[in-house]
Amino acid sequence: MVVSEPKAFDVDKVVRNLPDGPGVYLMKDDRGGILYVGKAVSLRKRVSSYFRKTAAQDPKVESLVSQIQGIDYIVTSTELEALILENSLIKKHKPKYNIVLRDDKNYPYLCLTVKEKYPRLIVTRRVQRDGNLYFGPYIPASALRKTLRLIYQLFPLRQCRAMSKRERPCLQYQMRRCAGPCAGATDPEEYRAIVQKVKLFLLGKKDHLLASMEKQMQEASDRLEYEKAAQIRDQIRAIRQTLQSQDVFSTQLKNKDIISLARSADLICFVVFFVRYGQLMGKKDFLIRVPREVSDEEALQSFIEQFYSSQDVAIPKSILIGLEIPEARMIEDWLSDRRGAAVSLMNPRSGEGKRQLDLASQNARILIESHIARELHEDLTLRAVRDDLNLPRLPSRIEGFDISNLAGEEAVGSMVVWIDNQPAKSQYRRFKIKRVSGIDDYAMIREVVHRRYARLLKEGGSRPDLILIDGGKGHLQAGRAALQELGLLDIPVIALAKREEEIYLTDRESPLRLSRHSSSLQLLQRIRDEAHRYAIAYHRKLRGQSLTRSPILDIEGIGPARQKALLRHFGSLSKVREASLSQLAEVPGINSRIAKRIFHFFHPLETGGDN
């Protein structure tokens, strides 16, 4: 049999066939996997540049080119379209040589619904071009809740979702926390004045706000409305006290984001400050692994592209960055298009902007140093576990199991996963015990372990470096028996017993006792306790469901419809239990066969008849 050689990658032919226009290119390896996604004004010129001799001097390009076995492309109308498509493809494929921003969080904003007749404040995580006013983002979210509580204390803004006419105002009106528009206690003009105050407060324009309120207080006093003037006076005092406690981050009441980074080898920490109307609204940080060959400037540009591509991120007028990125003008055009107004990327060399960038850089350095120190400590802990348990390799992935039941009822099992010394909660699993009746923890452990790894063998996935079972020697033997049935005895398995915190190993007769201060024991305890917590939570959930579930549904042939018919006919479950066989047969939808089942379910020792 003749085996044909794999078809060589013809660079010249591929480049010749590329169009001389804007688009996105996808570089692939020998298996079809995507190595890199890029954009270009001219696909032909950009792709050909990777294969020139001068490009080989760049370590990143040299490493990338050595693996390329295919190139696909998508033509776009403009370079901006190419930028948008590039972001989409990077998020979808997460190529090896691209910077990939992993952030699935949406940021909270306050929306003042000025398009409504009587506006209100709502919390949202999506900024839309709908004519309403958006303030934020608030990071952390607790800052938003604090601001919202404060506004409701200071200004009588309505809080109801849907406003309908009422004869009497709600309780918020009685507490003087709502102007009562639903009951006609205020007119639109008066209410708009309240909304204007809220707007000025959120904009941080304290001078305008206080001047306006002092004018209103004086006018109310001139009209001899002393109670109203006193209310406004108290509001002014409260607002002054609140604003005095706020730190002014910028002397210019403008909206801007400040982005800086710190780097250690292939780890980059990006820090973003959100400044709105002179106030620092929050800070967000991102730790990202990047190829060592990628420059800081390239990494920053890729971060900006991905961060602001989200529909849920409000783009400010100015973005301060500490580096000159390669395609700044195009990025500005793209951001301006997304915002609907001009956006400037600025790299200040002095003044307030430079001080703010330095502060962001300082935060990034502290965060990356802290992360590296934590990684070092975690690595030492895993090494300690390996050495203490005499494991063949570092236990980067540990899976922990536990059982929970009450006298054998609602028995469940749990599996928790630890990856690199951190819980991977998305990979937790829970099991209903199906094959064991009564109280038999060993058989239950055997069932759960067998089901878990039988499925792993069938579907594929990551095998653990260590299996931890909550229990003693018997639990260990049960788990090992399940692994033996599956031919997985190469996976180390241990059991950790409570009280004495003894560790049972397969190659030792007596249990291993480690110091209570041992980092490896403390890690194993955390995993064991988390498996126990997860099992208990599932068991309680099932018990709660069983307590509220009607026992009628346990009868064969009885579903929700027949259950409803029985309860409607008799009025209660106790009446169903007391009913005779003939009475049960009278219920619509219940034939004589089903009636006998119901009767014998509640009267198992009786033979039937009209009792």
The C-alpha atoms of residue 253 and residue 207 are separated, in whole angstroms, by 12
Given a cut of 90, whether residue 469 has pLDDT beyond it is yes
Residue-wise pLDDT for 186-209, tens only, equals: 888 888 888 888 888 787 777 777
CATH number at residue 572: 1.10.150.20
242 pLDDT tier (thresholds 50, 70, 90): low
One domain, residues 527 and 413: yes
pLDDT of residue 5: 40
* Helix, strand, coil percentages for the chain (3-state, nearest 5): 45, 20, 35
243 pLDDT tier (thresholds 50, 70, 90): low
Where would I find the beta strands (DSSP E) of 304-367?
A: 318-321, 344-346
Residue 155: name the closest of 47, 274, 57, 235 by CA: 235
Given a cut of 90, whether residue 239 has pLDDT beyond it is no
In the block, tokens 């194993």 appear at: 524
One domain, residues 26 and 83: yes
251 pLDDT tier (thresholds 50, 70, 90): low
Let me know if residue 240 belongs to a domain: no
Let me know if residue 274 belongs to a domain: yes
The C-alpha atoms of residue 128 and residue 154 are separated, in whole angstroms, by 27
User: Picking from 63-67, 302-306, 324-328, which range would have the lowest pLDDT averaged per residue?
Assistant: 63-67
Residue of higher predicted confidence among 531 and 193? 531
Let me know if residue 3 belongs to a domain: no
Cis peptide before 137 (omega within 30 of 0): yes
- How far out from the chain centre does Cα 65 lie? 36
pLDDT of residue 431: 93
For 337, 396, 465, 523, 526, the CA distances from 418, given in Å and listed in that order, are 44, 8, 10, 10, 10
Let me know if residue 382 belongs to a domain: no
Q: How many percent of the chain have pLDDT more than 90?
A: 24
User: Picking from 44-58, 323-337, 450-464, 468-482, which range would have the lowest pLDDT averaged per residue?
Assistant: 44-58
pLDDT of residue 482: 95
Residue-wise pLDDT for 30-42, tens only, equals: 888 899 998 988 9
Pair type for strands 466-470 and 493-496:
parallel
- Angle, helix 141-154 to helix 226-244, in steps of 10 degrees: 160
271 pLDDT tier (thresholds 50, 70, 90): very high
When the pLDDT of each residue in the chain is averaged and rounded to a whole number, the result is 83
Given a cut of 80, whether residue 248 has pLDDT beyond it is no
427 pLDDT tier (thresholds 50, 70, 90): very high
262: which strand partners?
Answer: 269
Taking residues 311-337, what's their average pLDDT? 87
Sign of CA dihedral 441, 445, 451, 452: positive
Let me know if residue 218 belongs to a domain: no
Of 544, 564, 581, which closes a domain? 544
pLDDT of residue 545: 64
Of 67, 93, 119, which closes a domain? 93
- Burial class of 293 by CB neighbour count within 10 A (0 to 12, 13 to 18, 19+): middle
pTM over 0.85: no
Given a cut of 50, whether residue 247 has pLDDT beyond it is no
The end-to-end CA distance of the chain, in Å, is 85
CATH number at residue 34: 3.40.1440.10
One domain, residues 568 and 529: no
Where would I find the beta strands (DSSP E) of 215-321?
A: 256-264, 267-276, 279-289, 318-321
Q: Is residue 288 a contact partner of residue 101, using CB atoms and an 8 Å limit?
A: yes
User: Picking from 2-11, 12-21, 102-111, which range would have the lowest pLDDT averaged per residue?
Assistant: 2-11
Here the tokens at position 75 are: 């033509």
The C-alpha atoms of residue 371 and residue 373 are separated, in whole angstroms, by 5
103 pLDDT tier (thresholds 50, 70, 90): low
Let me know if residue 236 belongs to a domain: no
One domain, residues 407 and 516: yes
Let me know if residue 166 belongs to a domain: no
pLDDT of residue 499: 81
pLDDT of residue 215: 82
One domain, residues 565 and 510: no
One domain, residues 414 and 430: yes
Residue 27 domain boundaries: 11-93
Of 353, 368, 383, which closes a domain? 368
CATH number at residue 356: 3.30.420
One domain, residues 456 and 568: no
Top-ranked range on mean pLDDT: pick from 2-6, 60-64, 163-167, 285-289: 285-289
2 pLDDT tier (thresholds 50, 70, 90): very low
Coil, strand or helix: which one is 377? helix
In the block, tokens 């989200």 appear at: 310
Residue-wise pLDDT for 273-295, tens only, equals: 988 877 777 788 888 888 777 88
Q: Is residue 291 a contact partner of residue 266, using CB atoms and an 8 Å limit?
A: yes
Q: Is residue 513 a contact partner of residue 500, using CB atoms and an 8 Å limit?
A: yes
One domain, residues 511 and 531: yes
Here the tokens at position 332 are: 């500005």
pLDDT of residue 386: 92
Coil, strand or helix: which one is 339? helix
pLDDT of residue 608: 45
CATH number at residue 451: 3.30.420.340
One domain, residues 572 and 453: no
Here the tokens at position 71 are: 């190139």
Given a cut of 80, whether residue 55 has pLDDT beyond it is no
Given a cut of 50, whether residue 185 has pLDDT beyond it is yes
Q: Is residue 269 a contact partner of residue 261, using CB atoms and an 8 Å limit?
A: yes
One domain, residues 453 and 565: no
Amino acid 27 reads: M
| Number of domains composing the chain | 4
Show Cβ contacts of residue 308 under 8 Å, excluding neighbours closer than 6 positions.
315, 335, 338
One domain, residues 405 and 429: yes
Given a cut of 90, whether residue 478 has pLDDT beyond it is yes
Given a cut of 50, whether residue 52 has pLDDT beyond it is yes
One domain, residues 474 and 415: yes
